Amino acid sequence: MNILAIESSCDETAVAVVRDGRTILSSVIASSADMHAIYGGVVPEIASRQHVEAISPLADEALRQAGISKGEIDAVAVTYAPGLIGALLVGVSFAKSLAFGLGVPLIPVHHVRGHIAANYLAHADLEPPFLCLCVSGGTTALVHVKDYTQFEVMGGTRDDAAGECFDKIARVLGLGYPGGGPMDRLAQGGNDQAFAFPKAHMEGNPLDMSFSGLKTAVLNTVHNAQQKGEALHLPDLAASFAAAVSDALVPRTMEADRRLGYHKIAVAGGVAANSRIRADLERACQAAGARLWLPPLSLCGDNAAMIGCQAYYEYQAGHTAGWALNAKASLDIAKQWSE
Ligand code: KG4
């Protein structure tokens, strides 16, 4: 089954062709990140306009690289939630018209389900059930992947997503947008003990997290130094911040794994590219005797191949949409598709 998949939830327009869920025939991405960089974050209107310009030529390019014709597409999949509503609507409208024109099923896909599915593309042996740490610019959650289309959120951030904090701190440091990669590189060789940033202790669900206090503490450190005219050692600051984020994520991930008892852990989303978090998880999993699946860096960020992969399993579960499909800015990952 050849699925043409579309992703446009944020600032990447992406189209891919995926065969039988796990084989990528093509995957093309056009990012408008450069246009947002001057504003220090994504400008939704600019993102939507860029999707409109990019999507049609990208779909042609994805077919060309896959070496198939439109007539060989068996279904069209699209990210319909969560994300920037104007950006999502471009992908949803394009997918609807393409599926309608070709007379093939339309498969709606939750963006974070797609991020989790990126692991299936990279690791042929990974099958549910397992635990997935989902960490991106918009999401930070520990998700129990019960089956390909059955999910339960065990805990998550009560305020900022981890990626959002990387981006905001990077902006104040003048590192550009998106800031996670530059922050990661800056942290190399820095002393992770140089700054003692606060740890959030959560009332209620101990698997919940909070990153806004940590973000404010780092920003205050930067602003105080600027006001006093003092120079901060930025690699130390970046390394201490990455360590604090990892300290919030890794022990909770291991606790969630203990509760589930599968000892199978996957990681998903753009922040899964972070070298400190990857290294800490590898160490913790080794100590706990748990298997760890990390997506390759090329599949950590937004792409459409992951949407095509998840769509295959949504299709098997009967989750196809009619022509009234609409985009949703927010949606619980556990909620099943219904018209
Ligand atoms: O998954 P993604 O591409 O988009 C969302 O669905 O949100 O994630 C983007 C996020 C951004 O916040 C970016 O700064 C962060 O992933 N990111 C990183 C790294 N590479 C990208 N954060 C920390 N370390 C990295 N190496």
What digits encode the pLDDT tens for the residues 243-252? 999 999 999 9
H or E element at residue 239: helix 234-260
Q: Does the reported pTM lie above 0.85?
A: yes
Asked if 145 contacts 135 with a C-beta cutoff of 8 angstroms, the reply is no
Give me the half-sphere count of Cα atoms (radius 13 Å) on the Cβ side of residue 263: 8
| Structure-derived torsion over alpha carbons of residues 56, 57, 60, 66, reported in degrees to the nearest 10 | -120
Kindly state if the Cβ of 160 falls inside 6 Å of ligand 1: no
Look at residues 15, 93, 13 and name the one whose alpha carbon lies nearest to residue 60: 15
Asked if 75 contacts 311 with a C-beta cutoff of 8 angstroms, the reply is yes
Report pLDDT for 33: 87
* Residue 69 neighbours by CB distance under 10 Å: 9
CATH of 2-115+302-316, one of 3.40.50.2000, 3.40.47.10, 3.30.420.40, 3.90.1170.50: 3.30.420.40
Report pLDDT for 93: 98
Those residues with Cβ within 8 angstroms of residue 61's Cβ, 6 or more apart along the chain or in another chain: 15, 26, 28
- pLDDT averaged over the chain? 96
Dmax (CA) for the chain in angstroms is: 66
Whether residue 16 has pLDDT greater than 80? yes
Residue range(s) of every CATH 3.30.420.40 domain in the chain? 2-115+302-316, 125-299
Whether residue 39 has pLDDT greater than 90? no
Domain 125-299 has CATH 1.10.760.10: no
Closest ligand 1 atom, residue 302 Cα: 3
Task: Give the residue-averaged pLDDT of 22-45.
Answer: 91
Task: Give the residue-averaged pLDDT of 255-281.
Answer: 97
Report pLDDT for 41: 82
Kindly state if the Cβ of 167 falls inside 6 Å of ligand 1: yes
Extract the tokens encoding 32: 């408008």
Q: Phi first, then psi: what are they for 33, rounded to 5°?
A: -55, -40
Report pLDDT for 276: 98
Substitution candidate for ligand 1 out of 84, 166, 280 with most atoms within 8 A of CB: 166
Kindly state if the Cβ of 136 falls inside 6 Å of ligand 1: yes
Q: How far is the centre of ligand 1, averaged over its atoms, from the C-alpha of 305 (Å)?
A: 17
Kindly state if the Cβ of 83 falls inside 6 Å of ligand 1: no
Q: Give CA–CA dist 177/154, Å, rounded.
A: 30
CA 77 to chain centre: 17
Look at residues 275, 164, 182, 297 and name the one whose alpha carbon lies nearest to residue 235: 182
Substitution candidate for ligand 1 out of 12, 36, 134, 136 with most atoms within 8 A of CB: 136
Q: How far is the centre of ligand 1, averaged over its atoms, from the C-alpha of 270 (Å)?
A: 3
Task: Give the residue-averaged pLDDT of 145-167.
Answer: 97
Q: How far is the centre of ligand 1, averaged over its atoms, from the C-alpha of 136 (Å)?
A: 5
Asked if 242 contacts 184 with a C-beta cutoff of 8 angstroms, the reply is yes
* Residue 129 neighbours by CB distance under 10 Å: 13
Q: How far is the centre of ligand 1, averaged over its atoms, from the C-alpha of 143 (Å)?
A: 18
Kindly state if the Cβ of 156 falls inside 6 Å of ligand 1: no
Whether residue 212 has pLDDT greater than 90? yes
Whether residue 12 has pLDDT greater than 80? yes
Which residue's C-alpha comes closest to atom 16 of ligand 1?
270
Substitution candidate for ligand 1 out of 271, 275, 310, 333 with most atoms within 8 A of CB: 271
Number of H helices and E strands in the chain, helices first, is 11, 10
Task: Give the residue-averaged pLDDT of 142-146.
Answer: 98
Extract the tokens encoding 49: 């306009």
- Taking each helix axis as running N to C, give the angle between helix 162-172 and helix 180-187, from 0 to 180 degrees, rounded to the nearest 10: 70
Which residue's C-alpha comes closest to atom 18 of ligand 1?
180
Q: Give CA–CA dist 198/176, Å, rounded.
A: 25
Report pLDDT for 102: 98
Which residue's C-alpha comes closest to atom 3 of ligand 1?
301
Report which DSSP code applies to 207: T
Whether residue 339 has pLDDT greater than 80? no
Task: Using DSSP bridges, classify how beta strands 140-147 and 150-156 pair: parallel, antiparallel or unpaired.
Answer: antiparallel
